[in-house]
Amino acid sequence: MTDIKKSGNFLVSKEELEKQTEYSELVKTVISSRFSTENPKAFVHTYGCQGNVSDGERIKGMLEEMGYEFTDDVSQADLVLYNTCAIREHAEDRVFGNIGALKQYKKAKPHMIIALCGCMMQQQHIADRIYKSFPYVNLLFGTHVIHKLPELLYRVLCTKKRVFDITDSDGVIAEGLPVHRDGRFKAWLPIMYGCNNFCSYCIVPYVRGRERSRDFDTIVNEAKHLVAQGYKEITLLGQNVNSYNRDKGSEYNFPALLRAINAIEGDFIIRFMTSHPKDCTTELLDTMAQCDKVAKHLHLPVQSGNDKVLEEMNRKYTREKYLSLIRYAYKLMPELSITSDIIVGFPGEQYDEFKDTLSLIDEVKYTSLYTFIFSPRKGTKAYSMPDPVSREEKGRWFKELTDLQEQIAGRRTAGMKDKVYRVLCEEKAKAEGVLSGRTEGNIIIEFCGNENLIGSFVNVKVTECRTWIVRGEMC
C-alpha cells in the first residue's frame, strides 16, 4: 500500500498510523517479556540541522511509547540509533567512524540493536556500503519511513533478520507522532518538509523529497499548546520557510503564519529558519517588523557574493537582489541581526569571484556566518563539475573570509556596549554563578544570576564585548 497520493496530499493515512500504534504495543509486549526487571535503554544521537533534531525528537517519542528509556552511555544501551546527516562529506565520515566504534559494544552486548536513519541513510550507495561493511547493523531506514519505526523495530526483534528500508518517495507528512522534546523552554516546530530548489551543490532535495507544508491550523494549535506548556522560544523549521503553503497554492503563506502565531497570548519569542533569498519578500520583512514576538534575527543564506557563481549554484537571485532585500530590512529594523551560510571554493570559482563574497559580507555586516568549504556530494550537479582549485588554496580563501568576518563581528558586538537587551536565560555558564543566554539577535550573553532564572526572560545591560560573546549585568 502506498502512503502518498501524488495529488499533493502527502499525509500518511489514519489507518497506517493506527497500524503503527498497534506495532508499538507489540514491541512493548516483546521487550517487556525480554527485560523483566527494568526498562530497556536507548542511546539516540542526532547529527546535523535542526530539522534532523526535530525528527530525532519524534523518533525518541515513538521509542518512549514502545517502552524505552534513554541513556547517554552507549555501553548501557540496548538500542543505539544514529540519526545521520548527509550535507557534507565530513559529516558522513564521522558517522562511519562512529558506526565502526560500535562493533566492540555489540560484541560485549550481543542483544544490542544498532539502528541508523536520517539523510545519509536515504542514499542507496550508503545503504549498500553499510549492508556490506557493517554486518552488525540491524536496522537502517530512510527519511520517508520514520513513522514506521514501530513496525521496522518489531521485525528486527521478532525475525532477528536485518531490516533495511529506504523507500524512495516524494516524501510524507506523518501527523500526530509522539514527541520527546529535549528542551524545556525552547521548542522546534516543523512547518514544512523537503526542498524543491536543487541548488547544484546540495543533496537535501534528493534525500528529503519535495516541499510539503503542514496544515496551517495544525501548526498554530501546536504553537498554542507549546506556549501553554511554558515554552518561551518557538523556532519554525523548514528548508525554505518562505515557500510555506506554496505547494498547496494557499493564500495562507509564511507571513500569515507568523502573524497567527504572533497573536497567541503569552510571553514567548518566535524564530524561524531557513529563508531562501529568492523567496524572501518585503511582505515577510514587514511582518517581522510588525510582529513584536518575532525575533529580529534573519538567517538568510547567500552562499556567494558573485553573480556567476550564484548562477552556477542555481540560486536564482543576484547579488543586487540580495543586497536590496538587506537594505530594505535594515531600514525597517535598524537593530536587525543577520546571519548567513557561505560556501567557499565552489567548483570553478576564481579568486576574483570569491573576492565578491568578501565585499558582500563587508557590506551586509553579518552578526555571524556559517562557512563551509565546498564538499562534493554524489548525485548532485556540482559533483561532476571541474574543480581545479586545490584544497590548500580554498583553505587560504576560507581563512581570509573568517578573518574578515571576525573583524565585522567584533565591531558589531562592540556597538552593543551600554545597551539593554532582553535575554532568554538558557543555562549555567562555565564560571560559578554566571548564566548564559541569547539576545533576540541570537548573540550569546553572559551575566551573573541565580540559576532559577533559567528558562525566563531578563533584561541585561552589556558591559563588556568580545567578538562572539558579550557580558553584562541584569537590570
Which stretches of the chain bind ligand 5AD, using CB under 6 A? 87-88, 201-202, 301, 303, 341, 343, 372, 374-375, 377
**Residue 120 binding: pick among ligand 5AD, ligand SF4, none (C-beta 5-8 Å cut-off by kind):** none
Least distance to ligand 5AD, CB of residue 28, Å: 37
For 266-297, give one letter per residue: b (16+ CB within 10 A) or e.
Answer: eebbbbbbbbbbbbbeeebbebbeebebbbbb
Nearer of residues 347 and 472 to ligand 5AD, judged by Cβ: 347
Closest residue to ligand 5AD in the complex (CB): 341
Q: Give yes or no for residue 344 binding ligand SF4 (CB under 6 A).
A: no
Site string for ligand SF4, 233-272 (x = CB under 6 A): ------xx--------------------------------
Residue 369's identity, in one-letter code, is L
Gap between the Cα atoms of 223 and 236, Å rounded: 9
Q: Is 205 in the site for ligand SF4 (CB under 6 A)?
A: yes
Residue 421 · residue 460 · CB < 8 Å? yes
Task: Provide, rounded to whole angstroms, the least separation between the CB of residue 240 and ligand SF4.
Answer: 5
Name the residue nearer to ligand 5AD (CB basis): 150 or 347. 347
- Kindly state the smallest distance separating residue 373's Cβ from ligand SF4, in Å: 15
- Using CB distances below 5 to 8 A depending on partner kind, what does residue 239 bind out of ligand SF4, ligand 5AD, none? ligand SF4
Contact call for residue 195 and ligand SF4 (CB under 6 A): yes
Lay out the site mask for ligand SF4 across 275-314 (x = CB under 6 A, - = otherwise): -x--------------------------------------
Residue 443 C-beta: closest distance to ligand 5AD, Å: 21
Q: For ligand 5AD, which is the closer residue by CB, 138 or 380?
A: 380
- In the complex with ligand SF4, the residue whose CB is nearer, 195 or 342, is 195
Contact between 204 and ligand SF4 per CB under 6 A: yes
Residue 212 is a binding residue for ligand SF4 (CB under 6 A): no
Among 59, 139, 192, 202, binds ligand SF4 (CB under 6 A): 202
Q: How far is CA 20 from CA 62, 150, 171, 276, 357, in A?
A: 10, 6, 18, 35, 49
Does the protein bind ligand SF4 through residue 146 (CB under 6 A)? no
Q: How far is the CB of 135 from ligand 5AD (least distance, A)?
A: 30
Q: Which is nearer to ligand SF4, 77 or 204 (CB)?
A: 204
**Binding partner of 88, given ligand SF4, ligand 5AD, none, CB within 5-8 angstroms per partner class:** ligand 5AD
Give the whole-angstrom CA distance, residue 121 versus residue 125: 9
Using CB under 6 A, pick the residue from 20, 46, 143, 197 that binds ligand SF4: 197
Report the residue number, 197 or 340, with the smaller CB distance to ligand SF4.
Answer: 197
What is the total count of residues that contact ligand SF4 (CB under 6 A)? 10
Alpha-carbon distance of 71 to 55, in angstroms, equals 18
Beta carbon nearer to ligand SF4, 202 or 258:
202
148 binds ligand SF4 (CB under 6 A): no
Q: Which is nearer to ligand 5AD, 25 or 341 (CB)?
A: 341
Which residues contribute to the site for ligand SF4 (CB under 6 A)? 195, 197-199, 202, 204-205, 239-240, 276
